[in-house]
Amino acid sequence: YFSHIEGISFLNVMIGIFIIDTMEYFFHYFLHENKTLYNKLHNVHHRPVPMTPQTSFTNHDGEIFITSPNILLVFVFSSLSFHEYIIVTALSFSATVSDHTVTSSKRKYHYIHHHVNKNKNLQQPFFTYWDHIFGTYYKGSDLKIPFVP
């Protein structure tokens, strides 16, 4: 199903990063906007206080069932090779853990999402452009730099 099994293109990896950032933002936005889904599913991710790197993957099984197959299907039918898919998902996991690593800054981009305003700073795992476009960016946030806790 992958367009070509082998090969790595920097452009395709960047396209994959854009895809995952876009899908994660809209799934995350939807899970926060739909009160039923938030209370029954996504709330599990927000329960651990303070957030820790383990919080990255603390999710209700139902949430995983909604998001993961859709993300996989988009990648299967994209132009990414299998190796590019592996690179993008590995980078995504690393960036997600980094986002959930607490530092001394109370203005850290994803810290604000978990501890100050759960309806702000929704974009994950790499950049913040969808938050800026849709008005969900918290103006007092530190600059989000992927892979930097």
- How much is the average pLDDT of 73-93? 88
Does the pLDDT at position 43 exceed 90?
yes
What is the structure's pLDDT at 78? Answer: 84
Per the CB < 8 A criterion, the answer to whether 16 and 92 are in contact is: no
Picking from 137, 97, 96, 133, the residue whose alpha carbon sits closest to that of residue 116 is 137
- Per-residue tokens: 62: 């139902």
| pTM summary value | 0.89
What is the structure's pLDDT at 5? Answer: 60
What is the structure's pLDDT at 77? Answer: 81
User: 50 pLDDT band (50/70/90 cuts)?
Assistant: confident
Instruction: State the Cα–Cα distance between residues 90 and 6, nearest whole angstrom.
Output: 17
